[in-house]
Amino acid sequence: MHYKEAKSILSPRNGMNIYRGCTHGCIYCDSRSTCYNMQHDFEDIEVKRNAPELLEVTLRKKRNKCMIGTGAMCDPYMHIEADINHTRKCLEIINKYGFGLSIQTKSNRILSDLDLLKSINEKSKCVVQMTLTTYDEHLCKIIEPAVSTTKERFEVLKIMRDNNIPTVVWLDPILPFINDTEDNLMGILDYCTKANVYGIICFGMCLTLRDGNREYFYSKLDDHFPGLKQKYQKKYGYSYELKSDNHEKLMNLFYSECKKHNILCDNKEIFRYLHRFEEKEQLEQLTLF
C-alpha cells in the first residue's frame, strides 16, 4: 500500500476511484489490463490520501445534484478499507450534501456502512451493485479467492432488499468451460429473484481479455485448471471477447427468466437508472399531484 495526493476525484460522469489496485485476487480482473496505465503492482494499493477532502470541495461547488458512482474499476471495500475508512468518509460527504450514490462491490464489508446507505437512500437514491459470477461456492473460492463468496453477497442483497435499498447485479464474467453452464446461471438467477433485485447487467456469456489481465488469467488457469490454457489459446487466440459455446442457449434462458420474474435486463435502461438522480422530496410532491 502507498499514498498519493490526487488532483481531482470525480470523472466527467461523476465516477470516483478512491483506491487503485485490488487485493481480492479475482483471476479474470480487467482492471489489471495495461491499457489503464497503472504505474505500480496491482496488489500494491494506491490510496488517494486526500480523496475525502477533494470530494467535499467538489460537491460543495456543484450547482446540480447528481448520482456519484464508485467501484467500477477498483472495489471500494477491499481489505484496507477496514483500517483506512476512506469509502465511509466519502459516503458521509455524499450524505451530507444530499447527493445520490451508485456503489459497486463484491464484499460484504459494505454492511458496515448500512447506516449511511439507508440515509442516502432516504434523501435521494442509493443503488448497491453486486457482481455474481458463479453459484458454486468452491469454484468461487478459486476464481475469486480473497473476497466474499457468492452466498455471502446474496445475503448482502437480501439485507438491502429488507432495507428498501435497490440493487443491481452484474452477471459477469462467464468463463468458457468453467462456469458457462445452465446450473450456474439458474443458481445465480434464483438468488437474484429471491433478493428482488431491480436489474441484472449482462453483456453476454463471455469473458474479455486484454494485455495484462490475459497473462494473469492464463497463469491461474495453469494453477487451477491444468490443460485449459492450451484449450483457450487454440480456440480463441488473442481475441478480446471469448464467447462461450453455450452463449445463445444461456442468453435465451437469461432473458426468459428475467421476464418471468420482472427483473430489468436491458443494459441501457439499467445504466440510465444508475445515473438518474432522484430526490425523494421531489418524488413525493410529484406523487401528490
State which H helix or E strand residue 68 sits in.
strand 67-70
- CATH number of the CATH domain containing 192: 3.20.20.70
Other C-beta atoms within 10 Å of 241: how many?
11
Cα distances from 50 to residues 57, 208, 221, 281, 288, in angstroms, run 11, 33, 38, 32, 43
Q: Residue 126 belongs to what domain range?
A: 2-288
Domain count, the chain: 1
pLDDT in 10s for each residue of the chain, 289 residues: 999 999 999 999 999 999 999 999 999 999 999 999 998 999 999 999 999 999 999 999 998 999 999 999 999 999 999 999 999 999 999 999 999 999 999 999 999 999 999 999 999 999 999 999 999 999 999 999 999 999 999 999 999 999 999 999 999 999 999 999 999 999 999 999 999 999 999 999 999 999 999 999 999 999 999 999 999 999 999 999 999 999 999 999 999 999 999 999 999 999 999 999 988 765 554 444 4
| CA–CA separation, 231 and 15 (whole Å) | 38
Following DSSP, what letter does each residue of 136-200 receive, concatenated? -HHHHHHHSTTS--HHHHHHHHHHHHHTT--EEEEE-PPPTTTT-SHHHHHHHHHHHHHTT-SEE
**pTM as predicted:** 0.94
